Amino acid sequence: MNESNFSGRHLLGRRSFLNDMGFGLSSIALAQLLSSDGLLAADKKPLRPAIDPANPNAPRDPHFAARAKNVLVIFCSGACSQVDTFDYKPELIARHGQPMPGGDQLVTFQGQQGNLTKSPWEFKPRGESGKMVSELVPHLAELADDMCFIHSLTSKTNTHGPGENFMSTGFTLDGFPSIGAWVTYALGSENQDLPAFVAIPDPRGTPQSSVNNWGPGFLPAAFQGTDFNAAKPIRNLSRPASISRETDVATRDFLKRLNDRHLERFPGDTELAARISSYELAARMQLSVPEVSDISTEPAHVLKMYGADDTENPLKASFARNCILARRLIEKGVRCVQLFNGSYQTGGEGTSNWDGHKVLQQQYSKHGPVLDQPAAALLGDLKQRGLLSETLVVWCTEFGRMPTFQKGASGRDHNPSGFTSWMAGAGVRSPFSYGATDEFSYKAVEDVSTVYDLHATILHLLGLDHERLTFYHNGIERRLTDVHGHVIKDLLA
């Protein structure tokens, strides 16, 4: 065969080689970009992590390059009012005391609504961005330039328990995995001596939905959040005073040898391996938890910055110690920390939570300072220590509040139609505001977002595709976002 058989053309000329190589490399680059955004059809198949039962919290790779290594959720239980904190509405001020247009005979969760009511707290421009934030939270307001606000969130329910479930698990019913359980199921933890997921209840007690907020649902129990706070360490963990540390260590070493020998007799028994792993983690926590939760070792200036030394406001001081604990856990590489502000254990109106139906000004005047200085110090401390660049901070509540006062009361009713959340730290734009409610902060009207969208965005920042992270349960590929949600890409830095 000679060249004349091909009409004088070479099989592969220099020009065609360079042309084909250019197209090939650009196609590879395009495929990589589409894959990183989860836009390839082949990438939509379930991606379940491989879990080692003997070490369920071993660190695992994300689906794609992550912007955040850890996530800290500050959950204001009781439905903190966006109208009185972060959602500034000049028209609400201008029409204070007037009926809400279109709101005639409007009946919400607890009954009929009265007139539009401006916030008792003045809004002021903050930082270089000029973001308007209420005087109810002056310390947090100083950090407005570090925050990425979502002003158009909506919920599926106007009831506290289901609302907490929805914000924490993506479902209003009990029995579904919490976001922290999903994250640690996917990624494990960098610290093998502490739980991968820690829930820090309010000093006054647990939120209304209690352990559902940090439960594993149908995921393996290893991914349940471990709940303790600065005042109440993990129960039944301390070494009895009658047993010396040396004896305790020797006993644990001997028990480990027995467990290892027993496991060798039953190779492949994942339940046995998981049980042994949980006992060994509990043993390691006997040393690690007292160390990380001992706030007394903090310098005096740090205690003062958080308000942990405030003898005139013991509730604030207690929450401040929990905020310091949250920072120390993040510092130690705990993957997910869920910090609660507000409790339902003391019951009724007062300072227990943000459920401001009857006497909002009186209640929030007491509860606002409990949140404000400690939470602001936590955010500032993470930034000062260089931890905010790898930690995603999410401030949230189960739903919002009405711009009206309830008839016969001086407080606001539940409002799932439009409320605010904010994020700060790794991978998010700041200062930035996304979405909007109407002129009175009643309904989301611009870039309307759901809790599913918030969850999808959180997972994305952790390097996880919310559509691919699944767990097969009862014939269904379950996921945090159910069959909904999209990443809010405008929030990404």
Residue 22, phi then psi, degrees to nearest 5: -65, -45
pLDDT at 34: 61
- From residue 196, give the alpha-carbon distance in Å to each of 188, 199, 369, 373: 7, 10, 30, 27
Find out whether 383 and 145 touch, Cβ atoms under 8 Å: no
Find out whether 53 and 375 touch, Cβ atoms under 8 Å: no
Name the pairing type of β-strands 147-154 and 449-450. parallel
pLDDT class for 410, splitting at 50, 70, 90? very high
pLDDT at 285: 72
CA distance 441 to 410: 18
Half-sphere exposure of 260 (CA within 13 A, CB side): 7
CATH 3.40.720 fits 70-232+295-491, yes or no: yes
- From residue 129, give the alpha-carbon distance in Å to each of 205, 245, 294, 437, 451: 37, 55, 38, 20, 26
Q: 202-236: per-residue pLDDT in tens?
A: 988 899 999 999 999 999 988 999 999 988 776 66
Highest-scoring range by mean pLDDT, 35-39, 214-218, 285-289: 214-218
Considering the chain, what percentage of its residues have pLDDT values greater than 90? 68
pLDDT at 241: 75
pLDDT class for 424, splitting at 50, 70, 90? very high
What are the extents of the domains in the chain? 3-36, 70-232+295-491
pLDDT at 83: 98
pLDDT class for 125, splitting at 50, 70, 90? very high
Determine how many CB atoms are found less than 10 A away from the CB of residue 215.
25
pLDDT class for 55, splitting at 50, 70, 90? confident
CA 425 to chain centre: 12
357, two tokens: 């139906």
SS3 assignment, position 62: coil
Residue 5, pLDDT > 50, answer no
pLDDT class for 249, splitting at 50, 70, 90? confident
CA distance 118 to 310: 31
Q: Is there a cis peptide before residue 431, judged by omega within 30 degrees of 0?
A: yes
Question: Mean pLDDT over all residues of the chain?
Answer: 89
Find out whether 57 and 486 touch, Cβ atoms under 8 Å: no
Determine how many CB atoms are found less than 10 A away from the CB of residue 267.
8
pLDDT at 345: 62
Residue 446, pLDDT > 60, answer yes
Residue 38, pLDDT > 60, answer no
pLDDT at 102: 82
pLDDT class for 4, splitting at 50, 70, 90? very low
Residue 26, pLDDT > 90, answer no
- The mean pLDDT of 152-173, rounded to a whole number, is 97
pLDDT at 3: 45
pLDDT class for 27, splitting at 50, 70, 90? low
Q: 251-278: per-residue pLDDT in tens?
A: 767 777 877 787 678 776 666 666 666 6
pLDDT class for 372, splitting at 50, 70, 90? very high
For 425-443, the DSSP string reads: ETTB-SSEEE-EE-TTSSS
pLDDT at 245: 74
